Amino acid sequence: MKDRIFESKENYLETILILHERNGEVRSVDIASEMDFSKPSVSIAMKNLREEGCITVDKNGYITLTDSGREIAERVYERHLLFTEWLTKLGVPAEIASADACRIEHDLSTESFNAIKNYIKSHE
């Protein structure tokens, strides 16, 4: 159960990062829409992320990643992009590649990710 909770946290942080890059600002309603989750579920998750020091929420409801939240989000997003691109180059349809990348990005050790990344970069 703990692994699923951490994966969920990573997915929320990654989504906040993506939405911030796309729109410049992020609110809970944007996250709910992007992830196709209920507003109450997102509200609970945002409360937990705020208590863990991963985000801040201003008086108008705008969400910002803290340094620690951004570090997690960027790590996960880098993995997602690398695996999606790699799988697509191998001939996997983009939608499947993205879904598979989402699964891989959470479970792979840092050592294995770096080895794969270095291998891919050296064979481009």
d(CA 61, CA 105): 29
Q: Are residues 91 and 108 in the same domain?
A: yes
The residue from 66, 82, 103 where one domain ends is: 66
- Convert the pLDDT of each residue in 105-124 to its tens digit: 888 889 999 999 999 889 87
Report pLDDT digits (tens) over 37-59.
999 999 999 999 999 999 999 99
Q: What is the DSSP string of 24-85?
A: S---HHHHHHHHT--HHHHHHHHHHHHHTTSEEE-TT--EEE-HHHHHHHHHHHHHHHHHHH
pTM for this model (two decimals): 0.88
CATH number at 83 reads 1.10.60.10
Residue 26: half-sphere exposure toward Cβ, Cα within 13 Å:
26
